[in-house]
Structure 1
Amino acid sequence: MRSEEARKILGFSPDSCPTRSEIAEAYSSLGSGARSRSPYGATTVRVVRTGVPMGYGKGNRALITIPFLLLIAGTVSFAGLNAARAYKRQEKMCPSYNPFLP
């Protein structure tokens, strides 16, 4: 519980600083509904779920990631082949002038 809520429930001014025991009292009174102004006692909370249910979203993750992984692997291998081919071509053209080639 935040101290602002405890101040509001116990009726303290916004500038006051409640102690831990006062905050504990506010929390217990909130749970039991002793100081609550609502006729139902404790504060009610409504939980609203949004989005896709968990059961439907689990299997689609693999179907989405596999093509992207294949694209990435193909791109890396294609770049490696092009780099190796360019390296061999440069080695044939200028073997003695390139200090980076063996």
Structure 2
Amino acid sequence: MANVVLRRLNQLVTKRSSLQTYIKPVRRSSSNYQGYREPNYEPNRPFIQRLYHFNAAIMWCYIFWCFRHNWRELIGEKIWPQRSLWTDEELGVPSDEYD
């Protein structure tokens, strides 16, 4: 068995043209493409993906713009009023004697 394999290998190495007989053509069925878990592939998909990426870029620009211009809200420099100092009158709470 090993002798047959070595003889055939020797033939393949010496005759490169015989190698072409062993190459089988590959059937490419790209016209019937179905994406991953997508039974109905959309022909407009590249445009829709570019539209999604554009919208995502606009969203991130807005987020970074807000971070750039409202950075004090992120680090807490805004002084919040102390709730313990508010009176019932300021909060609109009726007094205890009101019945």
The TM tier, using the shorter chain, reads 0.3 to 0.5
TM-score by length of 2: 0.41
Q: Give the alignment's TM-score, normalised by structure 1.
A: 0.40
Larger Rg: 2
| Higher RCO structure (Cα 8 Å, ≥6 apart) | 1
